Structures are given as structure tokens and as C-alpha cells.
Amino acid sequence: MALPIRDQIKYWGMAAAVFLVILWFMGDVLLPFVLGSAIAYFLDPVADRLERVGLSRAMSTAVITVLAILIFVIMALLVIPTLISQAVNLFDIAPDLTKRFTAVLTERFPSILEDGSTLRNSLNSVGTAVQERGGELLNTALSSAAGIINVIMLFVIVPVVAVYMLLDWDRMIAHIDGMLPRDHAQVIRNLARDVDKTLASFIRGMGTVCLILGTYYAIALMLVGLQFGLVVGFIAGLVTFIPYLGALIGGALALGLALFQFWGDWVSIGLVGGVFVIGQVIEGNVLTPKLVGNSVGLHPVWLILALSVFGTLFGFVGMLVAVPVAAAFGVIARFGVEQYQQSLLYRGTEQDISIPDEDML
């Protein structure tokens, strides 16, 4: 005999509360394991395809690991040092950029930025704050012994967790499936399948889109001569998963830097703007339709809310789990709506509700 609904709600509520408490108190400890699991989930289809070709699961994992190590070494030698250097330089010249921006505004609109005005003082303070706080943040993160240890731990633990999770992913899923309550196993499988479909479309698809666009923006902006093109491309690609936000933030930052660097050279400024226009055309017409699809199931507002709430409550780990949790809540909400529309609460006692003819009104 199945448990009463009230008892089932109580037990599932207790499980959700335990999950939130663990996330609250062990968020920093769980970070490498969450990242490693996310990487394994991202790469599981690749391993499955290699298995279909004829490789064993262990050999597929080994091939993926070797390729990942090669890519990481190339990134560590060529890209990461340049990225850090450009970010530090951008923070250092922030006050100079602010002064030049103020001078341009003063020349164009002298009445707005008079000496001692609130706007002028605010612009000067913003530039100084960016230099002090930004440089302090980077220097602290890079020079702190604890920070270095944490980074080393991430680079050691995350790959190990990812390899083991990728190796045992199918067995782990089968074991979890065997632990499902028998009365609800099929419903849970259907919900999990919908969640996986949503996550696959969003995380794998949008992750690939972010990587491609970030690489394109960085290379294209450096080719047109923008001084901090790698940083701008990295930022634009990183926030591309929120529709239009990556192009807006990256485009505004790139055009702002281009105005200071190429002032008077309108061809170069136009090239910088053209880079983002072409990027948006490629994303909207090629990348997103092919890699993500038309129905992801995660509305941008719902995604931003989930990221904000979980990031505030649980920090960086909360932001990592926000997308899966948002996808799960979305699937469960749609399931609940379907059940409601099939219930007597929605349909009432009349099973056949006909719409009166207009001539009868």
C-alpha cells in the first residue's frame, strides 16, 4: 500500500530541506564536486558517441581526458596569461579613461560637467574606485596564499571528479533509477527526461554558443586592434547565455574602449561595432537555432531570478546549481499545470463544455 499523500509530501519536503542545508553550510566544499559533475554531464554525450564507434567506456574517458589536457595546456600557455595581463591593465588605466571621458563631455556639454559638479566628482570617484578595488581584487586573488591553494585544489580535484563521474555516469544513473520509489518511478523518469532535455539544450547548447562567440569576439577585436579585445571577448562570451545581455555588455564595453583608443578614426570604431553586429547575426541565425533549438524551456527572466536568488543565498555554488534547479522547477511546474488542467478542479463536473453559437446570444 502506498504512503498517503501527506506523508509523501512530508518526506520529500524533508529531503529538499536537507539539500538546502547542505548547500548552505558546505557550499565552498562542494564547489569542486559540482564543477566536476557539470563537466562530466557536459561531456557524457561525447563519451556515448565514442562508445557507439566501438571504444569502451574507459577508453572513451581516456581519449576525452587527453584532449582536455592538451586544450588546457594550450590555454594556460597562450590565453590565460594574456587575459590576466589585459584585465590588470584595464583596471590600471580606468582613471585615465574616466578623465578622457570627462574631458570629452566637458568639451561637448560644458554646462553639465562644471568644476566641482556632482557628475564630475562621481565620474572621478568611479575611475579611482575601479582602479583601487579592481586591482586589489585581482592582486589579492592572484597573490593570496589561500587563493593559490584554492585554485590549485580546484585544478586538481575538479579534473579527478570529472574523470570518475564521466567513467561511472551510466552506472550511476542506473543505480539511481533502481532506488526510485516504485509507485512513482515512471513519473520521475519522465520528469527527469524532460529536465535532462532542457538542461542539454541550455547547458550544452548555450555553453557551446558562449565558447564560440567568446572566441570569435576575442579574436576579431584583437584583429581590428582593440587594446583589450581578449578581455572584452571573454566577458561577452561569458554572459551570452542570457539573451542579448552578452552583446549589450560586450558591445558597450568594446565601443567605449574603441572611442578612447580610436577617437577620430571612425573606420576602426565602425569595425568594432561591426564585429558585434556580425556576432549577433551569426548567433541568432546559425548558432542558437542549430545548437540550442527553439524551445529551451527556460525564460530569461526566470533564469535571471534563479541566478540572483541562489547566488545571494549560496554564493558561487548556488549560481552553478541555479540553472539545473530552475530547469527542474520549470518542468515540475509544467507537469503541475497539466495535472491541474486534467483535474476536476479545473474542468468541473461538466466534461463537455461547448461554446454557444453567436446567433444564440
Report mean pLDDT in 10-residue bins for the chain, 361 residues. 69 82 75 83 88 90 90 73 66 62 59 55 57 52 50 76 89 87 83 82 77 87 81 80 72 78 78 86 80 62 79 76 79 84 76 49 42
Distance from C-alpha of 247 to C-alpha of 260, rounded to nearest angstrom: 20
Give the chain's largest Cα–Cα span.
82
Check whether residue 162 and residue 240 sit in a common domain. no
DSSP state of 203: I
Say what the pLDDT of residue 359 is: 47
Check whether residue 157 and residue 187 sit in a common domain. no
DSSP state of 211: H
Check whether residue 28 and residue 164 sit in a common domain. yes
Helix (H, G, I), strand (E, B) or coil at 248: helix
Check whether residue 188 and residue 232 sit in a common domain. yes
This prediction's pTM: 0.63
Say what the pLDDT of residue 68 is: 87
Check whether residue 42 and residue 119 sit in a common domain. yes
Domain boundary among 170, 204, 229: 170
Count the helices and strands in the chain (H runs, E runs): 16, 0
Domain total for the chain? 2
Domain boundary among 146, 170, 194: 170
Say what the pLDDT of residue 34 is: 81
Terminal-residue alpha carbon distance, the chain: 52
In angstroms, the Cα distances linking 31 to 125, 210, 234, 238 are: 35, 22, 22, 19
Distance from C-alpha of 279 to C-alpha of 248, rounded to nearest angstrom: 12
Supply the range of the domain harboring residue 132. Answer: 22-170
CA dihedral 342, 344, 349, 350 (to 10 degrees): -20
Distance from C-alpha of 178 to C-alpha of 184, rounded to nearest angstrom: 12
Contacts of 68 (CB under 8 A, 6+ apart): 159
Query: 276, 233 in Cβ contact below 8 A?
Result: no
Check whether residue 152 and residue 188 sit in a common domain. no
Check whether residue 164 and residue 70 sit in a common domain. yes
Check whether residue 191 and residue 157 sit in a common domain. no
Say what the pLDDT of residue 66 is: 92
Check whether residue 163 and residue 137 sit in a common domain. yes
Say what the pLDDT of residue 64 is: 92
Say what the pLDDT of residue 129 is: 55
Say what the pLDDT of residue 146 is: 46
